[in-house]
Structure 1
């Protein structure tokens, strides 16, 4: 429990520093998060069952998903709240209803647990570094486990079965929403690839924006 409270407090502080509020959603942060996104040095690869999502990944999810205190319908029409949490019937929530920060953090903790279980099902005994595991958790959180099935993502599953880490890296990009390329998903895929390959958690958007500005 103390560890969980620490993680919750860290996320709450990060959200406050980034200025995320009820109206914040899918926006790049205006300031650096409370914990600097830094490379997590791998020591040894382990099966997903022995790992937990890092605090750095939790901050990334807040950055990428945004935070909403009021239940709304996402682009697919699904009731959603918090950090991209899809509202279930058991949540007892309706469109327009507000929820507090503690419940948002509870939803995030539970969604991360489910994402970990999905990564376990996807990778089996394949050993992973922490940053590789984080990249796959982000992938599940972003696109859903269903889109990573053998039917929908055959090359990803083949790469995992072959323990081909380079080939896995090539299958982490998902750029479309409702059949249309979305710039936000392109950036997120680039970020995920950097996490997988280099353990680099920084948001690529600011650097890209500065480069585009210099070229203009």
Structure 2
């Protein structure tokens, strides 16, 4: 018996059994004199259920609505079978790439990979870069060492994502994709340039797309070379991209 239970028992039994009997008799007399004040209406089982049903149904509706737009995070994927959910949840469906845009999780993963640098620098391949992985173009009017504002960096990101999305739509054609598959291809276009997705540059990728070979597409998402040499950052990013495409797992793959 806990301390709280013991104290309640002591209070209830204070004065002994004679006092307890007297209290019970007093309560009985009060119920006889004023029955309307002491009767509690009893609901049938069906009425009790119907009283609680709106709350339960509202909770179920919220859960179902959130699943429709659900995209698993790093914590969600642990101990969670994506394939099982695909089979049991009709809200997970492949759709035409023209109907998709980059998800918030992919934007976060991309920003984590690229970082935000407001001073123009040269990337691992030697190209002037700024913001969140924006490859500086002549029309930008920027040189290495120039600074931009955070607003400019976000504007570059928006424009670059739109370009990457359009290139993915052009490459996949009528092939339907899950959100995470689309995200992975957008990351590929963003990272290595939309021209790299062309049939001339990536014939195996385009062949897998033409054959609706999703495993084959995943195998062609690995780009590790920059300036003719293997770049560690690209190795990790390629692994993460493949993980996103196959498992909808957006977690960072770097150790630690």
TM-score with structure 2 length normalisation? 0.63
Instruction: Name the counterpart of 2:89.
Output: none
User: 1:14-47 deviations in whole A, cap 9, x for unaligned?
Assistant: xxxxxxxxxxxxxxxxxxxxxx645597611112
Instruction: Name the counterpart of 1:192.
Output: 241
Give secondary structure in 2 for the equivalent of 1:205: coil
Instruction: Name the counterpart of 1:145.
Output: 194
Q: What is the aligned length?
A: 173
Gap regions ≥5 residues in structure 2 = 1-72, 87-91
Q: Could you say which structure has the greater relative contact order, defined with CA pairs below 8 angstroms and 6 or more residues apart? A: 1
1:175 to 219, 224, 244: 224
TM-score with structure 1 length normalisation? 0.74
Query: Are 1:119 and 2:168 matched, yes or no?
Result: yes
User: 1:113-135 deviations in whole A, cap 9, x for unaligned?
Assistant: 00000101110111000000000
**How far apart, in 1, do the equivalents of 2:146 and 2:224 lie?**
31
Query: Are 1:55 and 2:123 matched, yes or no?
Result: no
**How far apart, in 2, do the equivalents of 1:185 and 1:146 lie?**
18
1:93 to 142, 149, 164: 142
Q: Tell me how large the CA RMSD over aligned residues is.
A: 1.9
User: 1:132-158 deviations in whole A, cap 9, x for unaligned?
Assistant: 000000011111122222122111000
Query: Are 1:72 and 2:121 matched, yes or no?
Result: yes
**How far apart, in 1, do the equivalents of 2:115 and 2:173 lie?**
30
Q: Which structure: greater helix fraction?
A: 2
Instruction: Name the counterpart of 1:107.
Output: 156
Query: Are 1:166 and 2:215 matched, yes or no?
Result: yes
Gap regions ≥5 residues in structure 1 = 1-35, 210-216
